[in-house]
Structure 1
Amino acid sequence: MLIVETIGRIRRDFLVKGRGIREIARDLNLSRNTVRKILRSEATEFRYERTTQPQPKIGPWRERLDALLLVNEGKAARERLTLVRIYEELRGAGYDGSYDAVRRYARSWQKARGASQAAAYVPLSFAPGEAYQFDWSHEVVLIGGVTVTVKVAHVRLCHSRMLFVRAYPRETQEMVFDAHDRAFAFFKGTCTRGIYDNMKTAVDAIFVGKERAYNRRFQQMCSHYLVEPVACTPAAGWEKGQVENQVGLVRERFFTPRLRVASYEELNGWLLDQCVAYARAHRHPEQRDRTVWEMFEAERPSLVGYVGRFDGFHATPASVSKTCLVRFDHNKYSVAAKAVGRPVEVRAYADRIELRQDGQVVGTHARCFGRDRTVYDPWHYVPVLARKPGALRNGAPFKDWVLPTALDRVRRKLAGSDDGDRQMVDILTAVLSDGLPAVEVACAEALRENVHSAAVILNILARRREAAAPAPIQTPETLRLHHAPVADCARYDTLRRVQ
């Protein structure tokens, strides 16, 4: 085979040095016809490619082998046959060729089929404020020294390419609501369309084409923010390719190497700073003379105005145990004692749990994402203490109960009394009617007088509850007496004589 170095030498010897064809052929041990062919073609490279590959053994079995390969490709990955198994099946049918011939043919068949099925896409373009894309990803971080897989919500404005990223413990619906609200509050607005995949927290049923049955609460959120939801075709991630690319970018730039943080609050604050820093430092992919942040600032006036927070909760009914506890998401939360015996509605937010009964809030707690934990509010059990004051000493809700300073001092002083628990319960019960600030002030006043009994503190509260003396009545000038009346007792004497 002629290599490019030999071809170059022949051309230089003939065209530059003026050597003859016979001399060049003798020096390079080539035929004169080969040298003439190179000089006449003016080519710098010769490459031989066989147009048709002879397959004397496979030829009669080509259709059968094509059918076997096509059926095998249509099977699930774990059910597909290896090429050795296909070769054995073909040999059992009478094929007497080698395995290498089958392997080479299968490779060329897959290459040709891949070229015919190669996907081509149309680049998409969006007007300012027209659409945003939403997606989830899973990332691994260290939170408080523990390796945790966090669920990261991604929002991306399609025109400016501005990104928003926030991490959550779950992908539940209340997390979706919170991610949208925080993203729109950051953008100071939203777009007229939102592009999603067919996540279960948004789509209940998939019909033909673009028709979807959206979740009722998800529709309420979209109506609140004036957004029209659009779901992608199943398995067509290119329809929201911007946010799909953002997932890889964020994983590479934000989560590599593995992050070490103390809490979700620290993680999300850091992610927001990184989003802003990335937007300020990187050019827009289409308008290279402007950064992503500059495009975002230009797009802001076209966004639909931010209308405020959506009440994004996920509601479920629950029963209340006799210990004033409600089980939700593998944990228990306390409710007010008056709620025992009737069901409550659990409203789960991204960061808190709200418990309602007959439209009234009977309990609010910071949300717990562990398992088999119990979250108490000691004030929920104060009405129960009126009947069982002894529970104040060993009751689980009152372990490590942090009271206001004056109340805590009174509690410590009463601890040495025989009826100290009863007196402390009387003081705590007063909080339900008078309020914690008033009881705190009464305790502080009693301590200043070097007393701490419940009777004194309740007396102080009672005196503070008494209504103030009424203001004197202002008499109009026309009714005011200017001369004192003169008493005339003779009139009474007249009445006595009549009797």
Structure 2
Amino acid sequence: MSLTKVELFRRIRSDAVLEELSIRALARKHGVHRRFVREALTSAEPAPRRQPVRRSPRLDPVKKTIDEWLRADLEAPRKQRHTARRIKDRLAEELKADVPYSTVRDYVSTRRGQIAAEAGAPMDGFIIRHNRPGADAEVDFGEVVICLAGTMTRCHLFAFRLAYSGLSVHRVTVSCGQETFLEGHEYAFELIGGIPVGQIRYDNLSSAVRRVVFRSRSRMENPRWEAFREHYGFTAFYCIPGLEGAHEKGGVEGQVGYYRRNRLTPVPVVATLEELNQRLAVADLADRDRKIRLRSRTIGEDFAAEAVLLARLPAEKFGASLTLRPRVDREATVTVRMNDYSVPARFIGRKLQVTLGTTEVVIADGRTEIARHPRLPGRGGQRLLLDHYLEILLRKPGALAGSEALDQARREGTFTADHEAFWTAAKAATDEATGTRQLIQVLLLHRHLRSQDVSAGIRAALSVGAATADIVAVEARKAAQNAGPSPTITAGRPPAPPPPPPPPAVTERTLQRVARLPADHRPPPDLNRWDQLLHHRRKESS
């Protein structure tokens, strides 16, 4: 087994002391040159191996030119300085020098720092920040991709991180708009049970900042965001725009990357965002047992120390949802954030009130809610309910077969196999237009009866070969009566609570008056004369 140079040095020095051998004898015993023995007796550790100076015949002639360009970069704008690729291209264009890119890259990476130090350029580094318990926090958005209802969808991860303990709150949303930004704060405040008393650090995102004052820390804030801050009583700190300010909230920047790699890899497959956010809430809770880097305490232990120092939450929420007033177009839809949502056709041409939340879009006419949809991700999406178009389809039955609303109803399962069977039977019994109108009449029953009762009515009608809406209605009401009393429902909305019992039609005072009336001894009426009229026939006119 070959010995290392350090081990060989140790043995030579030991033999020289214990056996008092000469340099020639030591060299003969260990099979090395006498120069090696003298080096071992002089120093206990071998001298570092000298690296040979490699010459670069193609780079050496242009080194001075490259150095001049790098010195000029010290005065140039940050985003207009030479890269190694640009230097290689300039050498080829201006000096006709064909230098490999890897050679230029290695030289530039070494000389750039040396030239900056020679010119006395300011040192670029980071200062470790002291975080007080319960004082500071950081907020950021990051992009994530999930498989939502079978479709790869680009979403946004809202991250809120306490700077002292590292406790983080995460939530995936379809948008990073202002309503999502505000609801993310409310969700985080409620989860941690308070509000940081120091600063919360942000990028200069448009949900909070209207304009960055040039060469200043001052910002013109969005009025609604300013009102939100005043409501919860915290201070916002805005980082330097661009990559230069990323280190000012480096904790949450790293947290977003950590969460993507450890909680969202592989790509989550979920039916709804609510399902995914429930998973993230469980993961956030489990994360409290984790230790950050070399800390001796867990995240949960540090958070327990700062939770008591957080400011108390106000008694009422701010109300983060955004209110809009779009007009209903001729397709019975309103456009909200570049996505279309359907409303009942009778509201075409009117302006309605839309409450835009993180996960839902609620549409109302005054104080009456008329539609509720899950919020769509991205742009250009459509969310159409077939029930909203039934009045139009009664006049245009031929449009049903190729409608987007019918396709969505089939995919969601609200247009069932029972409806398909009834439609086929109704068209076979009459014609396509008449059969389709019969189907639409059946679909209208869902506004007042439960889906299972309508399906039972369809099956009962088809079992006797009657593909008409009237028979389905009768059989559906029979099924509802057999199932017990149930409140009338509206399609797409949960059943309303049962109404209170009506007051008695006859009061106790009335009953007392009736009890004091004298007995009625009159004979019962004679109806024989009236019965004769039943057999009387009108004389035919001549």
Please say whether Structure 1 and Structure 2 have the same fold, judged by a TM-score greater than 0.5: yes
Deviations 1:12-58 (A, max 9, x none): 33233321134335653334xx7445434x34121265899999998
1:65 aligns with 2:66: yes
Look up the match of 2:288. 279
Look up the match of 1:496. none
What runs of 5+ residues in structure 2 fail to find an aligned partner? 395-433, 486-500, 511-542
Counterpart selection for 2:323 from 289, 312, 315: 315
Contact kept? 2:91, 2:98, Cα under 8 Å = no
User: Which of 296-305 and 403-412 deviates more?
Assistant: 403-412
Look up the match of 2:187. 182
What runs of 5+ residues in structure 1 fail to find an aligned partner? 425-439, 449-463, 474-499
1:132 Cα deviation from its structure 2 partner: 1.5
Look up the match of 1:266. 275
Query: How does 1:377-396 map onto structure 2 within 5 Å?
Result: 378=387
Look up the match of 1:404. 449
Look up the match of 2:257. 248
Look up the match of 2:363. 355
Look up the match of 2:373. 366
Look up the match of 1:153. 158
Number of residue equivalences: 432
Query: How does 1:129-208 map onto structure 2 within 5 Å?
Result: 129-192=134-197, 193-207=199-213, 208=215
Contact kept? 1:160, 1:284, Cα under 8 Å = no
1:268 Cα deviation from its structure 2 partner: 0.9
1:316 Cα deviation from its structure 2 partner: 3.4
1:392 Cα deviation from its structure 2 partner: 8.1
Q: CA distance change for structure 1 residues 164 and 270 in 2, over 3 Å: closer, same or farther? A: same
Look up the match of 1:328. 336
Deviations 1:294-339 (A, max 9, x none): 2223322222223343311233331123565323234443456775
Residues in 2 aligned to 1:252 and 1:401: alpha-carbon distance in whole angstroms: 46
Identity %: 22
Contact kept? 1:144, 1:263, Cα under 8 Å = yes
The 3-state SS of whatever aligns with 1:194 is strand
Deviations 1:173-203 (A, max 9, x none): 2211222122112112221332111122221
* 2:158 counterpart letter in structure 1: A
Contact kept? 1:350, 1:367, Cα under 8 Å = no
Counterpart selection for 2:18 from 16, 23, 30: 16
Look up the match of 1:489. none
Residues in 1 aligned to 2:254 and 2:329: alpha-carbon distance in whole angstroms: 48
The 3-state SS of whatever aligns with 1:201 is coil
The 3-state SS of whatever aligns with 2:250 is helix
Over the aligned positions, Cα root-mean-square deviation in angstroms equals: 5.1
* 2:328 counterpart letter in structure 1: V
Q: CA distance change for structure 1 residues 372 and 279 in 2, over 3 Å: closer, same or farther? A: closer
Residues in 1 aligned to 2:106 and 2:293: alpha-carbon distance in whole angstroms: 42
TM-score by length of 1: 0.68
Residues in 2 aligned to 1:75 and 1:299: alpha-carbon distance in whole angstroms: 41
* 1:30 counterpart letter in structure 2: R
Look up the match of 1:461. none
TM-score by length of 2: 0.64
Look up the match of 2:237. 230
Residues in 1 aligned to 2:331 and 2:100: alpha-carbon distance in whole angstroms: 77
1:148 Cα deviation from its structure 2 partner: 2.5
1:340 Cα deviation from its structure 2 partner: 5.0
Contact kept? 2:195, 2:313, Cα under 8 Å = yes
The 3-state SS of whatever aligns with 1:299 is helix
Contact kept? 1:339, 1:362, Cα under 8 Å = no
* 2:359 counterpart letter in structure 1: D
Residues in 2 aligned to 1:336 and 1:97: alpha-carbon distance in whole angstroms: 70
* 1:304 counterpart letter in structure 2: A
Query: How does 1:457-468 map onto structure 2 within 5 Å?
Result: 468=505
Query: How does 1:70-89 map onto structure 2 within 5 Å?
Result: 81=85, 84-88=88-92
Counterpart selection for 1:121 from 120, 126, 132: 126
